[in-house]
C-alpha cells in the first residue's frame, strides 16, 4: 500500500496557507456553529520523544474527507474540529484544499475528567469534500501509573498517554491530532505512516510494520500500517530485541535484559500458534508480530503486537503454553485488530478470541477433559450472576451493555454452539472468508451470521436472536426417567423452567458398562413455563440412570448446589467476614483480603482477628480465612464441622492423605457455605515466602490449588453431577 504525503516533514508546499494562531478560547472570535464532520484517509506522523522531560514534539499531516460520504449542499462558513490530548498544544496549522483560519481551542468532555481531549477549531469559508491539514504540536505527557493499578486486575485501564523513564505508552488521549465528527458520522479506518526517532534507553514499537521503503534517515524508523486501522499506538521500554522469522512473519520480542531466558520459549510459542491458527482462520494478516514487555498491568493487543505484563512473561513456560495468554492476544491480530469491530454494534472480537484460544486451544490439544471443564465453568459463571447483570452478548461495548464475563465466557460458549450447529469445517471456512474479505474493514455480528449462514447453508436468525441479541440461558432438568420393560422403551421427562429456548438437549443414558447419547429437541413455544416434554427412546436393556448434558455442550443455568465452589463463590455472598492472623499480617495476606473486601459494601464487611472470633459469626456470611488464622481454636472447630477437605496441622497441611510440610508449599481452597449464599475460602502458606501471588488468587477458577514455590502443582474441582435414577415399570 503506497502513500504519497501531501506535505513532507522537511518542506512545505507553496500552496499551503500558514495560519496565525489566535489566543486560546478564541479571543472574542466566534466560531461558526456548523461542524463539518471529517474523517482521515491517511496520516503521516513524525514524533520525537524525551523520557526525562516527558515531552513529545510532533508533526502530523492528514488527508481528510467528508465523513458522511456526501458533500454538503449548504454553503457558507463551517468549522472543522481537531481533537488532541489536553497536555499537548498546537504550534502551527497549515491547510490545503480550502480557505480557512485557525480559531483556537475549547474543551469537550468525553467522560475522561480532567484529561478530556481538547478540541481545536478551524474555520472554513465553505464546506469542502476533501482537504489536507498539517499540524505541528508539542507538550509533556505524564501519568501516575501506580494510581491505576488495582489488586486482582490485569488491566490498568486508566492509562492513556505517558512518556517516562519507566516506559512509553501512547494509545489514547489522543496523542496525535484527529478529526472530530458528529454523532451520526460513520466509523472510519485510516492508513498510517509513522516516523520515530531514537529515544535514549528505549526501544520503540508501533502498531504497524517497520518499513524501509520510506527513506529512513540515520537511526529513525518508519512504520506503515499493513491495512487500514482505527488508530495508531506507540510504546517503548528499556528493552533488548530478540528476532526470528516464521513462514514470512517477522517475530520480535522486546524484553528486559533480565527476561532473556524466556526469549526462545516465547519465539517457539509464537511459531506454534501461527502454525495452529493459520489453517483455521486464514493467513496471519501482517508481516510481523511483536511481544512487548510492559511496565504496567496489561494484556493489551494492538495491530501487529501485544503488550504483556512483566508478571506474565516471567511466568515462563506456563504463560507460553497455557491458553488465554499469548494465544488470546495473538488472535486479536485477526479478530479486533485485523477485522475491526463495527462500533455501531456490540464487540464480538473478545468472544471469538476467547473461543479460539481460551477454549478451543484445549480441543486442539486433544484435552477433552479440560475443554469440558471450560464449558462447565462458563455455565457456572452465568449461574452465579445477578439477574440485573445478565444482558445480551451483542451489547458488549455499548452503553449499558453486558460486562466482560458475558463477553468472554458466554461469548466463547456461543461460538462453540454455533460451530457445532453448522459443523466445525463450515464454521472455520466462514472465519477464513471473514479474514479474506474483512481484514482492514469493519464487521458486525450480522456479518458473522451471514457468513456462517452462507457457508453452512442454514438460517441462523433464531440462533443469533436467542444467543446474541437476547439475555439469559435455559434452565433445564430431567424430572423423571422410567423404563417400560414390556415395550423396552425409556421415557424421559424433560423440563424447561422459566425460559423458552429452542434447543437440542443432549442426554446420556447409563447402562451396564456402556453409555448411549441421544438428543431431545425442544422448540421455542412448545412448552409453557413449567411444562415438560416426554421423549420415548427404544432400548433393549434397562438403563441405570440418565444425565442431562453431562459434557456441558449447551450454555445453560445450573442449580446453585451444582456450581463448583471457587473464590468467586465467596466473593458473591451477601455478607463477608475476613479472619486475619494475629499480629501484623504479611502484606500479601493484606492484599488478598483487600481484593475480597472490594466485592462487598462497607456495611456488609466484618473483619476479625484470630483469637477474637466470636461463636456463630462465621455462620452468617461468606468467609475468608488467611494464614495462621487456621490455628485459632474456633476456626479449627468451624472448619472441622464443615468437613473442610484440607486439614491443617503443626507441620503444614494435609489433602487427600498427603502431607505438605515443605516451607515452599501453600494451598488455596474454597467450599460452598452450608448456611448462606456464598463460600468459605482458605489461603494458607507454610512460610511467608510461599504465599500465592495476591493478583493471581482471584484468577483461579478452581476449588482447590496447591502451590510449590508459588507455582500450581495440584488442582481440584469439587463438582456435583446430577444423575437421575431410572425407575422400572
What pLDDT score does 485 carry? 93
- Structure confidence by residue, pLDDT tens digits, 388-411: 999 999 999 999 999 999 999 999
Contacts of 269 (CB under 8 A, 6+ apart): 320, 321, 326, 327
Which of 56-60, 297-301, 593-597 comes out lowest in average pLDDT? 297-301
pLDDT at 278 over 70: yes
Cis peptide before 621 (omega within 30 of 0): no
Is position 172 within any domain?
no
- Structure confidence by residue, pLDDT tens digits, 91-144: 999 999 888 888 888 766 555 566 788 999 999 988 889 999 999 999 999 999
Instruction: Identify whether the C-beta of residue 567 lies closer than 8 Å to the C-beta of residue 699.
Output: no
pLDDT at 213 over 80: no
Which of 24-33, 213-222, 292-301, 443-452 comes out lowest in average pLDDT? 24-33
What pLDDT score does 20 carry? 36
pLDDT at 12 over 50: no
- Structure confidence by residue, pLDDT tens digits, 474-493: 999 999 999 999 999 999 99
- Higher per-residue confidence, 11 vs 238: 238
Which of 94-108, 247-261, 286-300, 491-505 comes out lowest in average pLDDT? 94-108
Domain boundary among 538, 557, 576: 557
Q: Which of 153, 160, 7 is nearest to 83 (CA)?
A: 160
d(CA 588, CA 581): 12
Instruction: Identify whether the C-beta of residue 588 lies closer than 8 Å to the C-beta of residue 545.
Output: no
What pLDDT score does 30 carry? 59
- 527 and 600 co-located in one domain: no
Start-to-end Cα distance in the chain: 75
Average pLDDT of span 240-249:
97
d(CA 563, CA 569): 9
User: Where residue 505 sits, what CATH number does that domain have?
Assistant: 2.60.40.1840
Contacts of 418 (CB under 8 A, 6+ apart): 427, 452, 460, 463, 467
Residue 333 phi, psi (nearest 5): -65, -30
Is position 301 within any domain?
no
Instruction: Identify whether the C-beta of residue 706 lies closer than 8 Å to the C-beta of residue 660.
Output: yes
3-state per-residue secondary structure call for 573-621: CCCEEEEECCCCCCHHHHHHHHHHHCCCCHHHEEEEECCCCCCCHHHHC
What pLDDT score does 72 carry? 54
pLDDT at 466 over 50: yes
Instruction: Identify whether the C-beta of residue 206 lies closer than 8 Å to the C-beta of residue 194.
Output: yes
Is position 354 within any domain?
yes
What pLDDT score does 110 carry? 57
What pLDDT score does 116 carry? 83
Report how far apart, in Å, the C-alpha atoms of 489 and of each of 69, 272, 522, 689 are.
66, 50, 20, 61
What pLDDT score does 533 carry? 82
Average pLDDT of span 366-393:
94
Average pLDDT of span 153-182:
87
- 350 and 446 co-located in one domain: yes
- Percent of the chain exceeding pLDDT 90 equals 76
> Highest-confidence range of 31-40, 111-120, 567-576, by mean pLDDT?
567-576
Instruction: Identify whether the C-beta of residue 277 lies closer than 8 Å to the C-beta of residue 285.
Output: no
Residues facing residue 546 across a β-bridge: 509, 724
- 428 and 533 co-located in one domain: no
Which of 8-17, 245-254, 573-582 comes out lowest in average pLDDT? 8-17
Q: Which three cell numbers stand for residue 240?
A: 533488548
Is position 588 within any domain?
yes
User: Where residue 424 sits, what CATH number does that domain have?
Assistant: 1.10.390
Is position 300 within any domain?
no
d(CA 362, CA 354): 12
- 452 and 490 co-located in one domain: no
Give this prediction's pTM: 0.89
Average pLDDT of span 294-315:
92
Q: Which three cell numbers stand for residue 64?
A: 481528510
What pLDDT score does 136 carry? 97
- 344 and 406 co-located in one domain: yes
* Helix, strand, or coil (residue 430): helix
Gyration radius of the chain over CA positions: 29
What pLDDT score does 21 carry? 36
Residues facing residue 538 across a β-bridge: 489
* Residue 23 domain boundaries: 16-44+54-139+177-188
Q: How many domains does the chain have?
A: 4
* Helix, strand, or coil (residue 69): coil
Is position 169 within any domain?
no
| Mean pLDDT for all residues in the chain | 90
- 451 and 484 co-located in one domain: no
Is position 216 within any domain?
no
Confidence of residue 25 (pLDDT cuts 50, 70, 90): very low
- 527 and 572 co-located in one domain: no
What pLDDT score does 2 carry? 30
What is the spatial order of strands in the sheet that 724-725 belongs to? 514-522, 503-511, 545-548, 724-725
Q: Which three cell numbers stand for residue 383?
A: 449461574
- 458 and 527 co-located in one domain: no
What pLDDT score does 152 carry? 57
Confidence of residue 151 (pLDDT cuts 50, 70, 90): low
- Structure confidence by residue, pLDDT tens digits, 516-567: 999 999 876 655 555 678 889 999 999 999 999 999 999 999 998 899 999 9
- Structure confidence by residue, pLDDT tens digits, 576-633: 999 999 999 999 999 999 999 999 999 999 999 999 998 888 999 999 999 999 999 9
Question: Cα–chain-centroid distance for residue 314?
Answer: 21
Confidence of residue 192 (pLDDT cuts 50, 70, 90): very high
- 483 and 406 co-located in one domain: no
Cell 474543551, located at residue: 107
pLDDT at 707 over 90: yes
Contacts of 80 (CB under 8 A, 6+ apart): 35, 36, 38, 64, 100, 121, 122, 123, 124, 131, 133, 179, 180
Question: Cα–chain-centroid distance for residue 4?
Answer: 37
Instruction: Identify whether the C-beta of residue 561 lies closer than 8 Å to the C-beta of residue 719.
Output: no
Domain boundary among 407, 436, 466: 466
- Higher per-residue confidence, 185 vs 13: 185
Report how far apart, in Å, the C-alpha atoms of 491 and of each of 502, 519, 526, 726 are.
21, 13, 18, 9
Average pLDDT of span 10-36:
44
What pLDDT score does 26 carry? 40
Instruction: Identify whether the C-beta of residue 156 lies closer than 8 Å to the C-beta of residue 38.
Output: no
Average pLDDT of span 438-460:
98
Residues facing residue 254 across a β-bridge: 241, 292
What pLDDT score does 513 carry? 85
* Helix, strand, or coil (residue 293): strand
Is position 74 within any domain?
yes
Q: Which three cell numbers stand for residue 356?
A: 479460539
- 413 and 493 co-located in one domain: no
d(CA 386, CA 363): 30
- 409 and 528 co-located in one domain: no
Confidence of residue 297 (pLDDT cuts 50, 70, 90): confident
What pLDDT score does 369 carry? 96
> Highest-confidence range of 436-450, 571-585, 683-697, by mean pLDDT?
436-450
- 551 and 571 co-located in one domain: no
> Highest-confidence range of 45-59, 178-192, 507-521, 686-700, by mean pLDDT?
45-59
Domain boundary among 403, 431, 466: 466
Q: How many CA atoms lie within 13 A of 57 on its CB side?
A: 7
Q: How many CA atoms lie within 13 A of 182 on its CB side?
A: 12
Contacts of 173 (CB under 8 A, 6+ apart): 84, 85, 88, 115, 117, 141, 160, 161
Amino acid at each position: 500500500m503506497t502513500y504519497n504525503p501531501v506535505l513532507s516533514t522537511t518542506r512545505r508546499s507553496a500552496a499551503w496557507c500558514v495560519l496565525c494562531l489566535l489566543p486560546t478560547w478564541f479571543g472574542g472570535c466566534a466560531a461558526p456553529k456548523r461542524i463539518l464532520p471529517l474523517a482521515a484517509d491517511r496520516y503521516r506522523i513524525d514524533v520525537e520523544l524525551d523520557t526525562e522531560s516527558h515531552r513529545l514534539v510532533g508533526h502530523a499531516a492528514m488527508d481528510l474527507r467528508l465523513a458522511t460520504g456526501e458533500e454538503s449542499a449548504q454553503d457558507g462558513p463551517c468549522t472543522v474540529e481537531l481533537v488532541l490530548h489536553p497536555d499537548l498544544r498546537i504550534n502551527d496549522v497549515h491547510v490545503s484544499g480550502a480557505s480557512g483560519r485557525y480559531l483556537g481551542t475549547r474543551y469537550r468532555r468525553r467522560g475522561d475528567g480532567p484529561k478530556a481531549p481538547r478540541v481545536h477549531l478551524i474555520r472554513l469559508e465553505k464546506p469542502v469534500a476533501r482537504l489536507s491539514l498539517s499540524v505541528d504540536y508539542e507538550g509533556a505527557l505524564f501519568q501516575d501509573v501506580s494510581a491505576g493499578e488495582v489488586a486482582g486486575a490485569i488491566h490498568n485501564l486508566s492509562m492513556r498517554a505517558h512518556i517516562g523513564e519507566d516506559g512509553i505508552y501512547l494509545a489514547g488521549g489522543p496523542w496525535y491530532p484527529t478529526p472530530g465528527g458528529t454523532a451520526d458520522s460513520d466509523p472510519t479506518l485510516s492508513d498510517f505512516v509513522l516516523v520515530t526517532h531514537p529515544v535514549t534507553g528505549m526501544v520503540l514499537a508501533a502498531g504497524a510494520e517497520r518499513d524501509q521503503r520510506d527513506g529512513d534517515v540515520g537511526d529513525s524508523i518508519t512504520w506503515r500500517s499493513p491495512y487500514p486501522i482505527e488508530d495508531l499506538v506507540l510504546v517503548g521500554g528499556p528493552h533488548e530485541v530478540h528476532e526470528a522469522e516464521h513462514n514470512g512473519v517477522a517475530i520480535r520480542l522486546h524484553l528486559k535484559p533480565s527476561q532473556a531466558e524466556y526469549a526462545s520459549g516465547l519465539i517457539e510459542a509464537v511459531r506454534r500458534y501461527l502454525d495452529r491458527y493459520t489453517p483455521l482462520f486464514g493467513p496471519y494478516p501482517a508481516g510481523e508480530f511483536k511481544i512487548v514487555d510492559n511496565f504496567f498491568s496489561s494484556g493489551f493487543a494492538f495491530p501487529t503486537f501485544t503488550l504483556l505484563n512483566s508478571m506474565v512473561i516471567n511466568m515462563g513456560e506456563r504463560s507460553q503454553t497455557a491458553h488465554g495468554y499469548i494465544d488470546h492476544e495473538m488472535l486479536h491480530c485477526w479478530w479486533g485488530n485485523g477485522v475491526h469491530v463495527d462500533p455501531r454494534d456490540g464487540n464480538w472480537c473478545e468472544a471469538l478470541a476467547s473461543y479460539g484460544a481460551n477454549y478451543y486451544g484445549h480441543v486442539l490439544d486433544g484435552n477433552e477433559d479440560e475443554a469440558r471443564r471450560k464449558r462447565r465453568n462458563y455455565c457456572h459463571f452465568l449461574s452465579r450472576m445477578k439477574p440485573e447483570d445478565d444482558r445480551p452478548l451483542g451489547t458488549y461495548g455499548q452503553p449499558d451493555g453486558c460486562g466482560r464475563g458475558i463477553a468472554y465466557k458466554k461469548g466463547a460458549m456461543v461460538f462453540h454452539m454455533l460451530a457445532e450447529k453448522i459443523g466445525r469445517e463450515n464454521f472455520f471456512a466462514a472465519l477464513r472468508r471473514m479474514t479474506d474479505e474483512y481484514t482492514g474493514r469493519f464487521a458486525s455480528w450480522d456479518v458473522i451470521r451471514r457468513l456462517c449462514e452462507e457457508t453452512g447453508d442454514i438460517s441462523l436468525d433464531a440462533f443469533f436472536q436467542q444467543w446474541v441479541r437476547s439475555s439469559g440461558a435455559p434452565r433445564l432438568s430431567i424430572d423423571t426417567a422410567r423404563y417400560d420393560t414390556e415395550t423396552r422403551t425409556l421415557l424421559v421427562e424433560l423440563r424447561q423452567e422459566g425460559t423458552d429456548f429452542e434447543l437440542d438437549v443432549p442426554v446420556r443414558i447409563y447402562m451396564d458398562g456402556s453409555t448411549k447419547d441421544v438428543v431431545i429437541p425442544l422448540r421455542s413455544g412448545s412448552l409453557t413455563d413449567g411444562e415438560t416434554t416426554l421423549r420415548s427412546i427404544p432400548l433393549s436393556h434397562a438403563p441405570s440412570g440418565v444425565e442431562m448434558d453431562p459434557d456441558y455442550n449447551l450454555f445453560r443455568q445450573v442449580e446453585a448446589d451444582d456450581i463448583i465452589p471457587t473464590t468467586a463463590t465467596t466473593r458473591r455472598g451477601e455478607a463477608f467476614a475476613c479472619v486475619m492472623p494475629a499480629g501484623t499480617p504479611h502484606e500479601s495476606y493484606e492484599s488478598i483480603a483487600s481484593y475480597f473486601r472490594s466485592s462487598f459494601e462497607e456495611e456488609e464487611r466484618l473483619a476479625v482477628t484470630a483469637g477474637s472470633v466470636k461463636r456463630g459469626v462465621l455462620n452468617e456470611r461468606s468467609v475468608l480465612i488467611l494464614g495462621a488464622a487456621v490455628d485459632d481454636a474456633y476456626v479449627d472447630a468451624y472448619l472441622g464441622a464443615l468437613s473442610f477437605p484440607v486439614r491443617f496441622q503443626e507441620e503444614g497441611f494435609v489433602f487427600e492423605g498427603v502431607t505438605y510440610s515443605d516451607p515452599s508449599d501453600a494451598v488455596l481452597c474454597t467450599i460452598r457455605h452450608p448456611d448462606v449464599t456464598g463460600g468459605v475460602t482458605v489461603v494458607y502458606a507454610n512460610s511467608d515466602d510461599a504465599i500465592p501471588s495476591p493478583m493471581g488468587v482471584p484468577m483461579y477458577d478452581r476449588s482447590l490449588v496447591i502451590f510449590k514455590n508459588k507455582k500450581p502443582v495440584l488442582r481440584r474441582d469439587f463438582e456435583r453431577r446430577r444423575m437421575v435414577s431410572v425407575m422400572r415399570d
